């Protein structure tokens, strides 16, 4: 009888321990599945981790929609590119044409025939969503808005925005102008990555020009200190749109909401997505760009060894507390043979979470291996044959 009581007590203790382990995230027990993203009354949305580029939530992310003033993210990006290559200066003066002055919709209120600095026009585009400022910049850079739109489309193609086409710089309705939530996330990521100093303008809450003070229409700038951009948009056909980006504890997330029912609705939907992403996901840098992760054997070269690694920092997004379940392996090109150029792809780095592939990036040569001499070629030829 005594042995039965002891056995029952031990069984009870084991059950209690198992229950505690199931509830303790640090125990290594199976985690509670991540809930579905919030249900949003919008035409399309996307939530993406900026560092890894991994999509955390999406709905109709590739549906072609009218972008309204989200278009100005691409407009500003093109201007930033012109500034970077030296063909434009922030202090350059732009003559305001009649077309720019008469442009309808949201305005910076520039004066006809006056000259305005590129710096001020850019802030008018970014903070006030000025259509007049957008047209003025487009005409100054490309001669006409139509030609500037060609530049926009060239950059869109280079960035992989396969479902976007632009016909103007301001986002006013046009039957041949469209984009998607995914494409808007791509140009936003490029802006943050390439032009962090200019991107800071997207966090400014107001802009004073021509004795008129106008607020930034991004309501989240006043509601969440981690939000530092990006851009609102609205037309009757497009509905209310908002691209938002926020950084918390080293993780940056970007949300795109298109076709909400009102300004408050787009703000609430965007904040819901950001909070969902920060609550249930985290980012990890696995490898630093340009740093070797392995050394491979090279044949018939002036060196036998080739350090390889990712060209850029390799980040991965995972559900919270799942980092220890990540694994990575290299898929290497067999029988590497010189010459090999620095930066040449020689395989891929494959990252998996519990056996399921989550990221795949090129594995590149981190130095050049030139063709070897006659003796090296002959020796390695024999080695390869055997």
User: Averaged in consecutive runs of 10 residues, what is the pLDDT profile of the chain (386 residues)?
Assistant: 35 36 39 84 97 96 97 98 97 97 94 96 96 98 97 98 98 97 98 97 94 94 96 97 96 97 97 97 94 90 90 94 92 88 95 92 93 65 66
C-alpha span between 301 and 50 (Å, rounded) = 39
Distance, CA of 118 to CA of 140 (rounded, Å): 9
The single-letter DSSP state of residue 291 is -
From residue 181, give the alpha-carbon distance in Å to each of 67, 105, 194, 220, 258.
9, 23, 20, 19, 7
All structural domains of the chain: 44-280 (3.40.710.10), 288-385 (2.60.410.10)
Residue 337: per-residue pLDDT: 85
pLDDT value, residue 304: 86
d(CA 126, CA 264): 20
Q: How far apart are CA 47 and CA 54, in angstroms?
A: 9
Pairing status of strand 356-365 against strand 345-353:
antiparallel
Supply the pLDDT for residue 3: 38
Catalytic residues: 69, 72, 129
Instruction: State residue 45 phi and psi, 5-degree precision.
Output: -155, 165
CB burial string 28-62: b at 16+ within 10 A, e below? eeeeeeeeebeebebbbbbbbbbbbebebbbebbe
- Give 333-375 as a DSSP string: PSS-BS-B-TT-EEEEEEEEETTEEEEEEEEEESS-B-B--HH
Widest pairwise Cα distance in the chain: 103
pLDDT tens-digit readout, 61-89: 999 999 999 999 999 999 999 999 999 99
Q: Which has the closest alpha carbon to 301: 220, 371, 217, 359? A: 371
pTM over 0.95, yes/no = no
Could you give the CA distance from residue 244 to residue 150 in angstroms, rounded to a whole number? 26
Query: Do 328 and 350 form a contact (C-beta atoms < 8 A)?
Result: yes
Instruction: Return the pLDDT at 24.
Output: 37
Residue in 285, 233, 326 with CA at minimum distance from that of residue 43: 233
The pLDDT of residue 378 is: 61
Residue whose pair of structure tokens reads 């710089």 in the numeric block:
169
Task: Please state the separation of Cα 327 from the chain's center in Å.
Answer: 24
Position 335 scores a pLDDT of 84
Calculate Rg over the CA atoms of the chain: 27
How far is 50 from 52, CA to CA, in rounded Å? 6
Q: How far is CA 14 from the centre of its chain?
A: 47
Place of tokens 């029988």: 335
Other beta carbons within 10 angstroms of residue 25's beta carbon come to 11
Enumerate the H helices of the chain as residue ranges: 2-23, 71-84, 98-102, 118-126, 131-142, 145-158, 181-194, 196-199, 263-280, 374-385
- Rounded CA gap, 280 and 259, in Å? 25
């Amino acid at each position: 009888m005594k042995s039965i009581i002891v056995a029952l007590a031990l069984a009870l203790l084991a059950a209690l321990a198992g229950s505690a382990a199931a509830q303790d995230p640090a125990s290594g027990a199976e985690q509670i599945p991540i809930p579905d993203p919030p249900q949003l009354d919008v035409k399309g949305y996307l939530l993406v981790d900026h560092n890894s580029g991994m999509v955390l939530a999406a709905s109709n992310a590739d549906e072609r929609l009218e972008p309204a003033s989200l278009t100005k993210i691409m407009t500003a990006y093109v201007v930033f590119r012109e500034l970077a290559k030296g063909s434009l200066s922030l202090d350059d003066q732009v003559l305001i044409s009649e077309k720019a002055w008469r442009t309808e919709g949201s305005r910076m209120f520039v004066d006809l025939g006056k000259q305005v600095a590129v710096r001020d026009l850019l802030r008018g585009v970014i903070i006030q969503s000025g259509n007049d400022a957008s047209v003025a910049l487009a005409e100054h850079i490309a001669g006409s808005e139509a030609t500037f739109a060609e530049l926009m489309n060239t950059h869109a193609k280079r960035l992989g925005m396969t479902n976007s086409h632009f016909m103007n710089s301001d986002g006013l309705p046009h039957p041949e102008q469209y984009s998607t939530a995914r494409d808007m996330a791509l140009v936003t990521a490029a802006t943050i990555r390439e032009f962090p100093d200019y991107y800071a303008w997207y966090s400014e809450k107001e802009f004073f020009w021509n004795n008129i003070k106008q607020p930034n229409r991004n309501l989240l700038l006043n509601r969440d200190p981690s939000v530092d951009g990006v851009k609102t948009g609205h037309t009757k056909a497009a509905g209310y749109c908002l691209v938002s980006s926020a950084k918390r504890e080293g993780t940056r997330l970007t949300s795109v909401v298109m076709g909400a029912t009102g300004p408050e609705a787009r703000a609430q939907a965007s904040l819901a997505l950001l909070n969902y992403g920060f609550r249930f996901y985290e980012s990890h840098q696995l490898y630093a760009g340009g740093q070797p992760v392995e050394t491979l054997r090279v044949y018939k070269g002036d060196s036998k060894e080739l350090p390889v690694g990712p060209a850029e920092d390799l980040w991965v997004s995972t559900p919270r507390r799942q980092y220890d379940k990540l694994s990575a392996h290299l898929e290497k090109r067999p029988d590497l043979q010189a010459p090999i150029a620095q930066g040449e792809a020689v395989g891929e780095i494959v990252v998996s979470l519990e056996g399921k592939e989550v990221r795949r990036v090129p594995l590149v040569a981190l130095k050049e291996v030139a063709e070897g001499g006659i003796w090296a070629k002959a020796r390695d030829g024999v080695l390869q044959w055997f």
